[in-house]
Structure 1
Amino acid sequence: MDWGRIVTNLMWLPKVDGWRDTLKAFAKSPDPTWAQAVSLANACLDFSQTNALDEIARRRWGETVPDGITGKPVRIAVLGSSTLAHLQPSIRVGGLRRGLHVAVYENDYGQYRQELEDEGSALYAFRPTVVLFALDAVTLTSGLRIGQSQADARGPLDATLEEVRHCWRLARRAFGGMVIQQACLPVFPSLLGNNEHRLTGSRAWAVTYLNDRLRAIADEEGVEILAVDAHVAEHGLGAWHSEALWHRSKQEVALTAAPLYGDLVARLVAAKQGRSFKCLALDLDNTLWGGVIGDDGLEGITLGQGSALGEAYVAFQAYARDLSRRGVILAVCSKNDEKNAREPFERHPDMILRSQDISCFVANWTDKATNLRHIAKELNIGIDSIVFVDDNPFERNLVRQELPMVAVPEVSDDPTFFPRILAAAGYFEGLAVTEDDLARTTQYAGNQQRESFRSQATDMASYLAGLEMRLISRDFDRIGLQRIVQLINKTNQFNLTTRRYTDAQVQGVMEDGNAVGLQLRLTDRFGDNGIIGIVIGRLEETDFIIDTWLMSCRVLGRQVEVTTLNVIAERARALGARRLVGEYIATAKNGMVREHYQNLGFTVVHSDELGSRSELDIEGFSLRPTAITMVSE
């Protein structure tokens, strides 16, 4: 398999027969839809195809946000010291692939610092929500001389890093949004060879030093890294950089790599909006093992030591297991007899994945699109949160046709490349890993125990009482910062306003004496559900304005909403509030909470198709009785 070709052509996406004819028909359509554009973007596109799609989409919509879009519009300023215009179409199409409407701005050549400093510049008029710093390696490594001492060589590099940090802070202070820093591309040939790290002052040495330090200070500043250096290390410099293009037009990223570059940027932005995928649904026969378990039996399937193919299946299972350990939910979706399908998980000595690793196991003779819907319902996640891996091209195409919102990577019949294709596709892009992520498989196992307990209870009241629930409220703190920001930016269904907060804005809530930021954790007899709710409110005279109220859907139906109201009312009264004011802002995904405040006893004072505003007098408010014990920490 030509991995360099996979990189430049996004080969985990399917090749679509007649794609150009479909594109032409889309261009000529009197009423093209956003969904059609997204479908066209989710194909294996090269640089010219990407640009053609971008041109037509821009002609159709331009800066206008189209109907049918679910993600929040994105305005990306790409700031750098080289030629970047060729990357803009790929960034827009990378966003389109994820259903995001993206507008892109590029600074005048070499003028990024000047535009950052000038509030009257075109950059400020653009009002970016994301700022991407794409600084070229030649600029970043200037001022070095071979043979310098380490102190002398690091001096100008450290000064450059502080300049970069200053630019991040300028961008965040001016625009308040997401900041991304492109890693330094390793474009320089070595001068010493294998031991280049010993040649202080060489530019190849400097790139390694800069990238190590960039990551460290990015962690300090809450900046995301666009890890192009890691992709160069995996796929080769030739797939990413053309010296001829650099000398001719100062294009550091090669034209052929632009589609992947744009996709990498879009992944980060989508992850910030909580639009990364959550669940990996796996076929079984010839996907997790070789052969057909129903025909070949436990002894006849290919798995484990003794063959290269068997070891490849083991490696894929190990990759899936490690994904689950970092927070990805695993499910099985197989056309099989369930008893036969479960046998390898229970009895085969070389199986890496075991039953306890699978949060939802569906094996029957129903079509896979229907079963994927069942998995989404069982796990209480959106169907658009699922990635489905199946070796069978017929099944892949069927799911793509029936469920275009499900990600279906174009794997081959060779399991050797399954992990690489999944990793390269970036479906599970994350910005950080929290304790709740690491405990997710355990949390879903606890949900199964709760459902079993529920089936044995005689009524709902006894079930809830028997759970022995505790809702632990804690003010925002730095320990929980990553999880707080993660939840705010990825929760879409039970989210009253869908307002997004950056790290800095959450810290601003923590420092505001008139604001309350609460992180809510639910525990019960079956375990810790983790942080399941976030509330942000502010005191305005005698009104406590609930700016943000969001919760994980997996805990609904357990009186958590009412108990949370009790917590909010107590905190609001402690600040001197006499009334709670709750706002609902309608989105494509949060219709389930349209009447949330009314159901809690609030009075609606305004309502239209865009949302509503509700009020609740709390001067004489009495805590509502629930089966949950309130704990404040």
Structure 2
Amino acid sequence: MSLAILSSSTVSHLLPAIRVGGLRRGLWIETYEAPFGAYAQDLADPASGLHAFRPDAVLFAHDTPHVTAGLSPGAGPEEAAEARAQALARLRAGWRSARDGFRCPVIQQTLLPVALPLLGCNEHRLPGSRHHAVPLLNGAIRAAAEEDGVDILALDEAVTAHGLSAWHDPVWWLRAKQAVAPSAAPLYGDLVARLLAAGQGLSKKCLVLDLDNTLWGGVVGDDGTAGIVLGQGSAEGEAYLVLQAYARDLAARGIVLAVVSKNDMANALDVFDNHPEMLLRRGDIAVFLANWDDKATNLRRVAETLNIGLDTLVFVDDNPFERAWVQAELPMVAVPELPEDPALYAARIAEAGYFEALNLTQEDRARGAHYAANAARAAAVSETGDLRAYLAGLEMRLIWRRFDTVGLPRIVQLINKTNQFNLTTRRTTEDEVRALLTDPHAIALQFRLVDRLGDNGMIGVVVARETEPGTYAIETWLMSCRVLGRGVETAILAVLAEAAAGAGADHLVGRYRPTPKNAMVRGHYAGLGFTPVATEADGSETFRLSLDAYRPGPSPIVIAQG
């Protein structure tokens, strides 16, 4: 993808680090730096290099002296407040110009606290102080960004974690107008790449945890539930609670939890069920594997059970041998190198930014429960051995609606994160999706699946656009992998075909564009009765369906409009 950096200071020394950060996350990032001191002209001029670059994302990376230039130590409270308001208004004007010009995500860097204090600890009593203004402006930037749909690059939080001297060097500022010190370039590049990767759906989805000496101290098979080190009363016992609390909080925001442990299942479960200090409980774990198989084999089982890619797993294990084995066998799995002291485990995982996200939806919060229920469904199928009878007994209902503002955040998230069941992997912005709400030549549908075991949330998105009279081309068809194998795609086609026929169409055209992750849907259109039309050199395929000849196939799913 292409990233344009618009800055009031020098950022050329940061571009290689951004590219490296992208490569670590599977992104090839092309970068563009606005001419020094001329980012505003570059943004306003349609003939500029920026407009020729056509960025996929724009990062505003202004230095603190530039943004706070209107503040004066002699200003009173009202004058200082007005100066801050004007500074924020200038930033928002830049955001609007970028979104209007490129229809792409916008990222705003927060201000580094580089202004020197004039009063000291009571700096708040000097209204015009730049030192005092920076945290106020950063708060205002976040609030405005929330209103405007802009993402934040939180340099102020990074400074809190690492110290200002790690991020800013006055010598390099004076010599080369580098607001971010060269030594901080790797950190900066990694933060930027995290945001871009999150926007492309490349963040991790599942935290896989070892048990002995990872979630508690000791070996439960040897020490027994009562003998492990866990909980209040010792520093070591409380250290393991820190990791458990972090995992529990990640689950609350939508990260799926799994357990992979070389252990006897009964012993492992006994701790979760009966140890009074355990924060995590059995119900928090979507997949629980305690056996004597190697960790790589069990990680494959976790991914298969959850129907997610191995590259979405983060594996946490205190044992260096197990970490090295997984890294050798499954290099796509993220394996953090843990410090010796368990008190630092959670911080090490958090610092790596595996689970970076740009927003949070209700479906995210319920994701762990969705996957746990899906694992229960898979186990039930395995026990009965009769998939058709089991699906019929699930009492599935597919609830569909046109795109609306209520579902907009989740729709955008699904489009930009779904990689496997995604026929074209076409990414989009919130503005582009919002335009579909009123486009008379587009059919934009969202789907929700409910069954007797629970509500799976929004699981599918289909967008078809009229390309010629009587023909609607499907430009986006994607589904959550957690509902695969239930015949949902057949029911979705029935809804789409009826909507297209109602709009005057007599044909649907579907396109499959291969990517490294979506091979599973290569036969999607052929399996639904579409006729092959063309195959291109890159493997892309085009299919056509006559609505006059189409008849919905049998399905155990009841379709309802929501």
**What range describes the TM-score normalised by the shorter chain of this pair?**
over 0.9
SS of residue matched to 1:511: coil
In the alignment, the residues of structure 1 paired with residue 390 and residue 321 of structure 2 have an alpha-carbon distance, to the nearest angstrom, of 44
* Match status 1:442 vs 2:369: yes
Paired amino acid for 1:212: G
Q: Is 1:542 aligned to residue 470 of structure 2?
A: yes
Q: Does 1:331 align with 2:258?
A: yes
Identify which of 606, 610, 616 aligns with 2:534: 606
Q: Residue 20 of structure 2 contacts residue 189 of structure 2 at CA under 8 Å; is this kept in 1?
A: yes
Tell me the equivalent position of 2:443: 516
After superposition, give the CA deviation of every residue in 1:111-161 in whole Å (9 maximum; x if it has no partner): 111111112212222222121110000000011122423332122322222
- Matched residue type, 2:32: Y
CA deviation map 1:295-316 (0-9, x unaligned): 1111221100110010010111
Supply the AA of the counterpart residue of 2:117. Answer: S
Q: Where in structure 2 are the equivalents of 1:368-387 lying within 5 Å?
A: 368-387=295-314
Contact 2:287 2:375 (C-alpha < 8 Å) held by counterparts: no
Q: Normalised by the size of structure 2, how large is the TM-score?
A: 0.97
What is the rounded CA distance, in whole Å, between the counterparts of 2:196 and 2:7 in structure 1? 18
TM-aligned CA deviation for residue 622 of structure 1:
3.4
- Is the 8 Å Cα contact of residues 517 and 534 (structure 1) preserved in structure 2? yes
- Superposed CA deviations along residues 61-102 of structure 1, whole A, max 9, x for unmatched, are xxxxxxxxxxxxx11111100111111111010001112111
1:178-226 Cα deviation digits (max 9, x unpaired): 2111011111222233333342111022111211111112112211100
How far apart in 1 are the matches of 2:245 and 2:140?
A: 31
SS at match of 1:576: coil
Report what 1:576 is aligned to.
504
2:544 corresponds in structure 1 to 615
Give SS of 2:213's match. coil
Q: Which moved more, 1:167-176 or 1:125-134?
A: 167-176
Moved more, 613-622 or 78-87: 613-622
Match for residue 262 of structure 1 among 178, 189, 197: 189
Q: Does 1:126 align with 2:53?
A: yes
Query: Which SS does the other structure have where 1:606 is aligned?
Result: strand
Deviations 1:542-593 (A, max 9, x none): 1111110000111111110100000101111121111111111111111111
**What's the counterpart of residue 434 of structure 2?**
507
Q: Which runs of 5+ in 2 are unaligned?
A: none
Determine the structure 2 residue equivalent to 1:65.
Answer: none
Q: Secondary structure at the match of 1:427?
A: coil
TM-aligned CA deviation for residue 451 of structure 1: 2.7
1:249 corresponds to 2:176: yes
Match of 2:412 in 1: 485
Q: CA deviation at 1:456?
A: 5.2
Q: After superposing the two structures, state which structure 1 stretch, 409-418 or 166-175, moved more.
A: 166-175
Instruction: Give SS of 1:615's match.
Output: strand
AA of the residue aligned to 1:196: E
Partner residue in 2 for 1:462: 389
CA distance in 2, matches of 1:551, 1:538: 18
User: For 1:436 and 1:140, how far apart are their aligned partners in 2?
Assistant: 37
For residues 440 and 81 of structure 2, the distance between their equivalents in structure 1, rounded to whole angstroms, comes to: 42
Q: Which runs of 5+ in 1 are unaligned?
A: 1-73
- Cα deviation code 1:334-377 (max 9, x no counterpart): 11222222221111100111111111111222211111111111
Contact 1:539/1:575 (8 A) holds in 2: no
1:516 shift after superposition: 1.7
Aligned to 1:137: 64
1:408 counterpart residue number? 335
Q: Structure 2: how far apart are the matches of 1:632 and 1:582?
A: 24
- Which residue in the other structure is 2:318 paired with? 391
Q: How does 1:119-268 map to 2 (within 5 A)?
A: 119-268=46-195
CA RMSD of aligned residues (A): 1.4
Query: 1:341, 1:601 → 2: CA distance?
Result: 48
Q: Distance in 1 between matches of 2:526 and 2:173?
A: 61
Counterpart in 1 of 2:524?
Answer: 596
Choose which of 418, 427, 434 in structure 1 pairs with 2:354.
Answer: 427
1:332 Cα deviation after fit = 0.8
User: Partner letter of residue 626 of structure 1?
Assistant: S
Q: Which structure 2 residues correspond to residues 558-573 of structure 1 after superposition, within 5 A? A: 558-573=486-501
- TM-score, length of structure 1 as denominator length: 0.86
* Alignment check: 8 A CA contact 1:293 1:340 kept: yes
Q: CA offsets, 1:506-535, max 9 Å, x none?
A: 111112111121111000000000111011
Match of 1:114 in 2: 41
The answer as to whether partners of 2:7 and 2:60 remain within 8 angstroms in 1 is: yes
C-alpha separation between the residues in 2 aligned to 1:246 and 1:341?
Answer: 55
Q: Residue type of the partner of 1:627?
A: P
Residue 292 of structure 2 is aligned to residue 365 of structure 1: yes
Could you tell me the percent identity over the aligned residues? 56
